[in-house]
Amino acid sequence: MAPTRRDFLKRSGFATASMMVPSFLKASIPILPGDVRPKVFVVIQFTGGNDGLNCIVPIGNDIYYKSRPNIGYKKEELIRLSDDIGMNASLQGLADLFYDGNVVLINNVGYPNPNRSHFRSMDIWQTASDEDTYLQTGWIGRLLDHHCTTGNCVMPHYAVEIDDSLSLALKGSTISGFAVRNPDQLKNVNTNPFLDHVARHYTGGSHVHNNVEYLHKLLTDTTNSTDYIFEQSKKYTTAVPYPANEFGNQLKTIANLINAETNTSVYYVSLSGFDTHALQRNQQERQLKIYADGLKAFVTDLKNTGKFKDTLIMTFSEFGRRVEENAGKGTDHGTANNVYLIGGGLKQGGMINEMPDLSKLVDDDLVYQTDFRHIYATILDKWLQVDAKTILGNDFKPMDFL
C-alpha cells in the first residue's frame, strides 16, 4: 500500500503541523511595530447589485415614494435610525451593531462614468481600476504582491476566500490568495500521495523554463497553505449559534480561523441573489436577513473572544439600483450605493455623509460622491498598514473612519 500523506509528513522530517507554525510566522506576515498581532479585514460582497436605497431609506422623501409606489418602505415598516432615515427591518442585526457604535454607513459610493454591467462594474470594484482601464490583478492580490516585492513574501493563505474558486480581487501577478469552501475537505485535497511528495521535495532543476519553477513553487505554497489552514480550522470551534445557511457557515469558518489566531489578514466571502429586477421586496429582504443574522452571530462570536477590536468588515455591491421602480415591482441596474463598515476599531460609528439627493439624478440614477477607492485607501493605510498608493496606483486621500 502506498504511504499516506501523514506518513510522509513524519518521514520527511516535515513534522507535525504545530511544529510548522513558527516557521510560517517567520516566513510570512511581518508583525508591525506597535502591533501585538496583525489586524484582520473581512470583505463581504453582495453579488448582483444590492438596492441600497431600500436598505437605508429616506423617510418622508416625496421623490422616494413617488418613484417607488409599490416597493417603497413606509415609515412604520422601518427601523428608525433618525427622524428622516430608516433601515430595512431585515437588517435588524446590522441595526443592533449600529446602535452599539460598531457600524459606519457611507452613502453615495461609486466611481466616475459608472458602468451598469454586472461583470464590468464588479471587475472595477475588485481591481480598483478606472472605468476605462482593464487590470488583471485584484486590489487584495496586489497587496500580496506588494509584500513580496518588499521582501516579506506572504503565503497564499494571507488572503483566504471562502469558496471553491478565487475571485479576481484576490489575484496578484506573482502570488494569489487561497480559496477554500470548507477546510474539512482540505484533508482530502492531495489524494495523490505521489503529488504530495512532489510538492514537498522539489529542489529545482531546469532553468530553461521559468514556468516549471513557477508551477512547483505554487504547488509547494499551496500544499503548505492547505496543511496550515486545515490544522488551524481544527484548533477552535465556536459555541455561538450561527444561522443554518451557507452564508452562516462561511462566516463561522472565518470566525473559527480568526479565533485560532490564524496568520491570515484578509478574508473574502460573497452572498448572491441581489439582482432584483422583479418582485424585489421579498427577495431582497430574504438576502438581507441572511446577511444581517449571520453578521450578528459573527460579531458576537468575535466579541466573546476579544478579537472584534482587531477586525474590520466591509460590505459592498457592484452597483446600486435605479431610483424608479420598474413595471415588475423590481429595480434595474443603477450606480452609486451605500457601503457598510463594521468593526471594533472604528473611530466612531454612525452615518458619515449625506443621504443621496433624489432631486439631482443623472440619467435617472444617483450621483456618486465618494470614490470607493478612498475607502480602500483608508483600509490599506490605516488598518493593513500599507502605503495605499503602491496598491491603488493613484493617491486616494484616506477617510476619517479609522
Partner 1 sequence: MPAPQKHVQHLYLRAGFGETPMVIKQKMAYDINKLVDDLFNDAKQYRNLTYLEDPTRGKEVSNLRVLLLFLKSPEQMRSLNNAWMDMMASTKAVLREKMTLFWHDHFATSTQFAWLMQVQNNTLRKHALGKFDKMLHAVAKDPAMIIYLNNQQNKKDAPNENFAREVMELFTLGEGNVYTEKDIKEAARAFTGWTVNKKGDFEFVAKEHDDGEKTFLGRTGNFNGEEIINILLEEKGTARYVTRKIYKEFVNEEVDEARVDALSAVFFDSGYDISKLMRAIFTAEWFYSEENMGSLVASPVDLITRFRRMIKMEFKEDKAQLNLQKVLGQTLFFPPNVAGWPGGRNWVDSSTLLLRMQIPTRIIKGGGFDIKPKPEFEDAPEDEIALRTSKKANVQSDWSALVNHFKKFPKEELIPQVLEAFIQSPKNHIDQSLIETYVDNSSDEKRVLSTIGIVMSLPEFQLI
CB of 241 to partner 1, least distance (A): 21
Q: At what angle do helices 280-304 and 92-99 cross, to 10 degrees?
A: 40
How close are the terminal C-alpha atoms of the chain, in Å? 57
CB of 116 to partner 1, least distance (A): 11
Whole-number minimum distance, CB 220 to partner 1, in Å?
Answer: 10
In 3D, which of 340, 240, 378, 250 has the Cα closest to residue 299?
240
Q: How far is the CB of 110 from partner 1 (least distance, A)?
A: 17
Provide CB contacts within 8 A for 171, sequence distance 6+. 136, 137, 138, 141, 177
Nearer to partner 1, 210 or 348 (CB): 210
Assess contact for 45 and 274: CB atoms under 8 A: no
Among residues 17, 153, 189, 358, which is the contact residue for partner 1, using CB under 8 A? Answer: 189
By C-beta, is 2 or 36 nearer to partner 1? 2
Instruction: Return the CA Rg of the chain.
Output: 22
CA distance 317 to 211: 36
Query: Closest approach of Cβ 43 to partner 1, in Å?
Result: 14
With respect to partner 1, which residue has the nearer C-beta, 99 or 214?
214
Rank residues 114 and 349 by Cβ distance to partner 1 and give the closer one.
Answer: 114
- Decide whether 96 or 213 has the Cβ nearer to partner 1: 213
CB of 381 to partner 1, least distance (A): 27
Nearest approach, Cβ of 48 to partner 1 (angstroms)?
5
d(Cα 303, Cα 310) in Å, to the nearest integer?
10
Binding mask 108-147 for partner 1 (x = CB under 8 A): ----------xxx-xx--------x-x-x-----------
Cell of 238: 465556536
Q: Which stretch binds partner 1 (CB under 8 A): 42-50, 57-65, 305-313, 392-400?
A: 42-50
Minimum CB distance to partner 1, residue 270 (Å): 7
The count of other CB atoms within 10 Å of the CB of residue 76 is: 9
Least distance from C-beta 23 to partner 1, angstroms? 19
Name the residue among 181, 160, 184 with its Cα closest to residue 170.
160
The sheet carrying 79-80 orders its strands as 56-58, 85-87, 79-80
Which helix (H) or strand (E) is 11 found in, with range? helix 5-11
Nearer to partner 1, 52 or 58 (CB): 52
54 binds partner 1 (CB under 8 A): no
If the CB atoms of residues 39 and 200 are measured against partner 1, the closer one turns out to be 200
**8-state DSSP, 103:** E
- Of 22, 106, 74, the C-alpha closest to 375 is 106
x-marked contacts with partner 1 along 204-233 as a string, rule CB under 8 A? xxx-xxxxx-xxx-xx-xx--xx-------
In the complex, least distance from residue 214 CB atom to partner 1, rounded to whole angstroms: 6
Q: Which of positions 265-324 make contact with partner 1 (CB under 8 A)?
A: 270, 272-273, 275, 283, 286-287, 318
**For residues 319-358, which are near partner 1 according to CB under 8 A?**
none
Q: Is 164 an interacting residue with respect to partner 1 (CB under 8 A)? A: yes
| CA gap 236, 320 in Å, rounded | 37
Instruction: Determine, following the binding rule CB under 8 A, whether residue 197 of this chain makes contact with partner 1.
Output: yes
Helices and strands, number each (H, E), in the chain: 12, 12
Give the DSSP per-residue string, 328-377. Answer: TSS--B-S-EEEEEEESS-SS-EE-SPPP-TTS-BTTBPPP-EEHHHHHH
Residue 48 binds to partner 1 (criterion: CB under 8 A) = yes
| Chain residues 168-187 in contact with partner 1, contact rule CB under 8 A | 168, 171, 176-181
Query: Which residue, among 314, 267, 311, has the nearest Cα to 105 in the 3D structure?
Result: 314
Report how far residue 394's alpha carbon sits from residue 402's, in angstroms, rounded to the nearest whole number. Answer: 20
Residues that bind partner 1 (CB under 8 A): 2, 47-49, 118-120, 122-123, 132, 134, 136, 156, 163-168, 171, 176-181, 189-195, 197-198, 202-206, 208-212, 214-216, 218-219, 221-222, 225-226, 246, 270, 272-273, 275, 283, 286-287, 318
